[in-house]
């Protein structure tokens, strides 16, 4: 059976103490799609993606990567995805080249393949000079880029990226967008979380909006927008407060 | 203002316990242990004030106090770390005068299980002085006890922040290690006096040493009660002055290192650029001949991390210091001849050190912090992971243990003992490594993501190290068969010690790898959660 969904989440639930962070998320990411996961802070985006890639054990539910259950068949599933977690440290006492090489070796790649890809990735991401600097001395944007390079290195079929555009300058952002667009055009699938609506609107074919641990709206970009701008659709779904103009008058 | 810090610390402590029953239980165990040992020590401190004290009674305050102060200096460095619940860097942006900050941090530091235990222990001095001499000596002794507590807390803060600064800088790193070694070794003569003194040196010599100690800050605050009972008021004044001056001096030192601790968290510092030669893979492995696989890569990364990570470096140095110091002291003891007691003491010290060596990896995942997520998303097999880590750690520790055994044999002038020593030492290292492996999978804990290698999180640090101590104990107990073979086996046992010890070690590590590795395969996300600092 060839699944036409690259990534399927079924009834994922996660509780922390008494708080329900993710409350039954079902999501199907079609193969070859560029999928944006939107939501306000604290909606449960990071928790959902962490459960989907094997970083956080769900209380209930399943996550399937190209038909492989991440929690039952982790070896197969994990070899098919590239992950860029957010708010996670890297092995930052290695320099950029060492870190990428290390990732490649962990994935069991052949040394000559690693050599070629590491050099090329560093070049494309404009990190060649930084390849000799310890990652601990990188700026936030450079750390994002090297983490993305780690996720791309083994040419996965599916990329799961948590906040790839946060803290990235416009030039690097354009480079990342370019790489991802080409990756999708080549048959890969990308799912990423973001609250930069403008980037999502420009890149994505499919969008899901999360709020309070649930998926509130999902579909192709046009379905979710439904004639509005994405921002209006987002605010309508999430339900933000409307300014009356009288608050913070002391500022 | 200081009250605000107290409330802040209590609040942070309480929030840390919320929804974590295990943490609460560990904390209560720590508290009970402090109560027990504190009460025992308090009774001991009462002895010199009894109506008819034994000969050695008079030296108890000076020696007991010295042990306490030295403990406060050394324990944070070698074992517990300091409780940085209120980390100075967090206050960098607030408009607080330095004096206020210092006072607040000091008061907050006084609030903890170790400080409570110390106060309880030394309270025996004040009670005793009251019983023997009435209210005035009791008051004097109480002042001494409080000053002593202040001294203990300030000295531990000042020393750890001084050392963490020195260990951070490349230039002073080695110097700091040497100073640490000398400091730890200074416990040696004291321990020697305590263990052998009572029988051999005689009470007169002990009293002389106690007299000297009483005039150093180490003993001064604890002796004033006895002085007051005997009516030596000039001595009381002088000793209190010595203590106060020392506390002030240490406060000044701490306050100057505080400044750099606050700057340290806001980044900066030199950018390290490294030389580039060859292709990425060739560069990664350098001159090592490890296999170009995930296993080889992990060994190389671990080897680098033991050198590049300040925390790991500090723990290696600390082990080297204790490892040299502990058996040397037991061997310089009174009876270095061939009787069975001396042999057990000596063999026991080998087991102690061997198992302690294994303990270095008891929180190996905690060192990595959330960077471990890379191994989780890659799906590194547990056995491979643990094997790589054990091999890399042993790369540094095994030569150290070899050197240690040789040093001991030379000191005992008995090189023929060497095979036996190797046997016991490595058997204990193997079992210690195996139990530490399990501890690292089951009882990992998060380390704060700051630059102080001695910092630990919140008030549970003491309790957490009980788990490490349990692993140490388990390692020693598991190594007992080899020790018994050496002690009771006569010449046959001595001949078999080396091969049996090595085989035993290999077997223990292999078993530990297999069992802990399989558990790790099922616990990766839980382990990651355990080592993620809660912010």
Q: Which of A235, A184, A176, A207 is nearest to A29 (CA)?
A: A207
Euclidean distance between CA atoms B106 and A129, whole angstroms: 45
B273 lies within 8 A of chain A by CB? yes
User: A37 pairs with which residues across the strands?
Assistant: A193, A208
In our burial notation (b when 16+ CB lie closer than 10 A, e otherwise), range A60-97 reads ebbbbbbebebeeebeebbbbbbbbbbebbbbbbbbbb
List Cβ<8 Å contacts ≥24 apart for B285-289: none
Taken in order B431, B526, B90, A195, the sign of the CA dihedral is: positive
Phi–psi pair at A60, nearest 5 degrees? -155, 160
Euclidean distance between CA atoms B68 and B505, whole angstroms: 36
- Determine, yes or no, domain membership for A195: yes
From residue B77, alpha-carbon distances to B83, B161, B176, B452 in Å are 12, 10, 12, 11
pLDDT at A1: 40
- Determine, yes or no, domain membership for A97: no
- CB proximity list for B422: less than 8 A, separation 6 or greater: B402, B405, B497, B498, B501, B502
How many Å from the N-terminal Cα to the C-terminal Cα in chain B?
A: 24
Domain count, chain A: 1
Please write the tens of the pLDDT for every residue from B18-70: 767 777 887 888 888 889 989 999 998 888 888 877 777 788 888 888 888 88
- Express as a percent the part of chain B with pLDDT over 90: 28
- Chain B residues inside the 8 Å CB shell of A101: 280-281, 283-284, 297
Decide: A109 and A154 in contact? Cβ < 8 Å.
yes
Asked whether the predicted pLDDT for residue A2 surpasses 60, the reply is no
Euclidean distance between CA atoms B369 and B215, whole angstroms: 46
Euclidean distance between CA atoms B521 and B355, whole angstroms: 25
> For the CA atoms of B428, B434, B438, B443, what is the dihedral angle to 10 degrees?
40
pLDDT at B445: 82
- Determine, yes or no, domain membership for A143: no
Asked whether the predicted pLDDT for residue A81 surpasses 70, the reply is yes
Taken in order A238, A244, A247, A250, the sign of the CA dihedral is: positive
User: How is B458-509 classified by DSSP, letter by letter?
Assistant: STTHHHHHHHHHHHHHHHHHHHHHHHHHHHHSHHHHHHHHHHHHHHHHHHHH
Euclidean distance between CA atoms A55 and A153, whole angstroms: 19
Other Cβ atoms less than 10 A from the Cβ of B289: the count is 6
pLDDT at B532: 86
User: How much is the average pLDDT of A156-170?
Assistant: 89
- Determine, yes or no, domain membership for A47: yes
Average pLDDT of chain A, as a whole number: 89
- A-B CB pairs within 8 A amount to 115
Task: Kindly state the tokens that stand for B279.
Answer: 């292709």
A73 lies within 8 A of chain B by CB? no
Residue of A nearest to B20 (CA): A17
Q: Compute the residue count for chain B.
A: 535
**HSE (side-chain half, CA atoms, 13 Å) at B290:** 25
> For the CA atoms of A218, A220, A224, A227, what is the dihedral angle to 10 degrees?
-170
- CB proximity list for B335: less than 8 A, separation 6 or greater: B341, B342
B267 lies within 8 A of chain A by CB? no
pLDDT at B267: 42
In a 10 Å sphere around its CB, with 0-12 CB exposed, 13-18 middle and 19+ buried, how is residue A127 labelled? Answer: buried
Euclidean distance between CA atoms A49 and A215, whole angstroms: 13
B234 lies within 8 A of chain A by CB? no
Give the structural domain span for A37. 5-88+157-238
Smallest Cα distance from A136 to chain B, Å: 9
Smallest Cα distance from B29 to chain A, Å: 23
pLDDT at B177: 59
Max CA distance (Å), chain B? 80
Count helices and strands (H / E) in chain B.
Answer: 21, 2
Smallest Cα distance from B351 to chain A, Å: 34
- Determine, yes or no, domain membership for A248: no
Residue of A nearest to B18 (CA): A17
Smallest Cα distance from B418 to chain A, Å: 39
* Residue from the list A54, A79, A114 with its beta carbon closest to the beta carbon of B281: A114
- Determine, yes or no, domain membership for A39: yes
Q: Do A55 and B272 touch (CB under 8 A)?
A: no
- Residue B460 or A107, more confident: A107
- Determine, yes or no, domain membership for A213: yes
- ipTM of the predicted assembly exceeds 0.85: yes
Residue A26: give its domain's CATH number. 3.40.50.300
Give the CA angle between residues B524, B527, B533 to the nearest 5°. Answer: 135
For chain B, list residues with pLDDT below 70. Answer: 19, 77-86, 164-203, 260-277, 328-340, 449-465, 534-535
pLDDT at B512: 95
pLDDT at B207: 80
- Chain B residues inside the 8 Å CB shell of A90: 371, 374
- Determine, yes or no, domain membership for A191: yes
């Amino acid at each position: 059976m060839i699944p036409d969904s690259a990534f399927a989440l079924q009834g994922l639930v996660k509780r922390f103490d008494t708080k329900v962070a993710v409350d039954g998320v079902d999501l199907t990411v079609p193969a070859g799609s560029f999928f944006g996961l939107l939501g306000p802070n604290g909606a449960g985006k990071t928790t959902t993606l962490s459960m989907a890639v094997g970083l956080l054990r769900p209380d209930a539910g399943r996550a399937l990567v190209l038909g492989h259950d991440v929690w039952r068949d982790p070896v197969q599933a994990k070899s098919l995805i590239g992950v860029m977690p957010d708010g996670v440290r890297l092995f930052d006492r290695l320099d950029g080249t060492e870190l990428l090489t290390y990732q490649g070796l962990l994935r069991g790649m052949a040394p000559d393949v690693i050599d070629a890809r590491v050099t090329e990735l560093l070049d494309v991401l404009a990190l060649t000079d930084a390849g000799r600097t310890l990652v601990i001395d990188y700026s936030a944007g450079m750390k994002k880029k090297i983490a993305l390079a780690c996720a791309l290195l083994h040419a996965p079929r599916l990329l799961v990226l948590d906040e790839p555009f946060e803290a990235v300058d416009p030039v690097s952002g354009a480079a990342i967008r370019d790489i991802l667009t080409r990756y999708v055009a080549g048959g890969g699938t990308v799912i990423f979380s973001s609250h930069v609506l403008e980037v999502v609107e420009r890149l994505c074919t499919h969008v899901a909006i999360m709020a309070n641990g649930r998926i509130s709206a999902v579909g192709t970009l046009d379905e979710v927008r439904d004639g509005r701008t994405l921002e209006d659709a987002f605010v309508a779904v999430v339900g933000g407060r409307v300014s009356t103009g009288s608050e913070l008058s002391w500022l | 203002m200081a009250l605000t810090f107290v409330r802040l610390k209590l609040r942070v402590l309480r929030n840390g316990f919320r929804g974590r029953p295990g943490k609460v239980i560990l904390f209560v165990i720590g508290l009970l242990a402090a109560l027990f040992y504190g009460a025992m020590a308090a009774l001991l401190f009462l002895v010199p004030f009894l109506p008819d004290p034994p000969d050695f009674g008079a030296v108890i305050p000076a020696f007991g106090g010295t042990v306490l102060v030295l403990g406060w200096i050394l324990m944070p460095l070698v074992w517990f770390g300091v409780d940085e619940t209120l980390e100075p860097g967090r206050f960098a942006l607030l408009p607080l005068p330095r004096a206020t900050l210092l006072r607040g941090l000091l008061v907050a530091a006084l609030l903890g299980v170790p400080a409570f235990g110390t106060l309880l222990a030394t309270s025996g001095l004040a009670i005793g002085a009251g019983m023997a001499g009435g209210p005035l000596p009791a008051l004097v002794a109480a002042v001494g006890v409080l000053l002593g507590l202040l001294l203990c807390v300030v000295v531990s803060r000042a020393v750890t922040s001084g050392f963490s600064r020195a260990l951070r800088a490349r230039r002073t790193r080695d110097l700091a290690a040497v100073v640490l070694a000398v400091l730890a070794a200074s416990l040696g003569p004291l321990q020697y006096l305590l263990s052998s003194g009572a029988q051999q040196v005689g009470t007169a010599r002990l009293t002389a040493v106690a007299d000297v100690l009483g005039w150093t800050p180490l003993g001064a605050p604890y002796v004033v009660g006895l002085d007051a009972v005997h009516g030596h008021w000039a001595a009381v004044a002088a000793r209190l002055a010595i203590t106060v001056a020392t506390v002030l001096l240490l406060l000044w030192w701490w306050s100057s290192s505080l400044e750099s601790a606050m700057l340290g968290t806001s980044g900066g510092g030199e950018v390290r650029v490294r030389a580039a030669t060859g292709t990425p893979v060739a560069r990664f492995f350098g001159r090592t001949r490890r296999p170009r696989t995930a296993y080889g890569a992990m060994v190389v990364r671990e080897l680098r991390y033991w050198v590049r990570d300040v925390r790991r470096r500090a723990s290696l140095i600390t082990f080297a210091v204790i490892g040299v110091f502990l058996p040397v002291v037991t061997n310089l003891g009174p009876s270095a001849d061939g009787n069975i007691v001396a042999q057990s003491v000596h063999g026991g010290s080998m087991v102690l050190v061997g198992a302690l060596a294994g303990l270095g990896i008891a929180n190996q995942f905690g060192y990595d912090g959330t960077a471990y997520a890379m191994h989780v998303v890659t799906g590194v097999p547990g056995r491979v992971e643990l094997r790589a880590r054990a091999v890399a750690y042993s790369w540094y520790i095994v030569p150290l243990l070899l050197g240690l055994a040789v040093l001991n044999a030379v000191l005992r002038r008995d090189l023929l003992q060497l095979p036996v020593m190797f046997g016991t030492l490595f058997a204990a290292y193997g079992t210690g490594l195996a139990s530490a492996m399990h501890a690292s999978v089951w009882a990992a804990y998060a380390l704060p993501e700051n630059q102080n290698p001695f910092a630990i999180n919140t008030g549970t640090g003491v309790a957490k190290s009980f788990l490490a101590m349990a692993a140490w104990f388990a390692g020693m107990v598991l190594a007992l068969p080899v020790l018994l073979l050496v002690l009771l086996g006569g010449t046959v046992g001595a001949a078999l010690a080396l091969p049996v010890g090595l085989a035993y070690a290999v077997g223990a590590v292999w078993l530990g790898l297999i069992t802990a590795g399989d558990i790790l395969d099922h616990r990766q996300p839980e382990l990651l959660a355990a080592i993620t600092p809660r912010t």
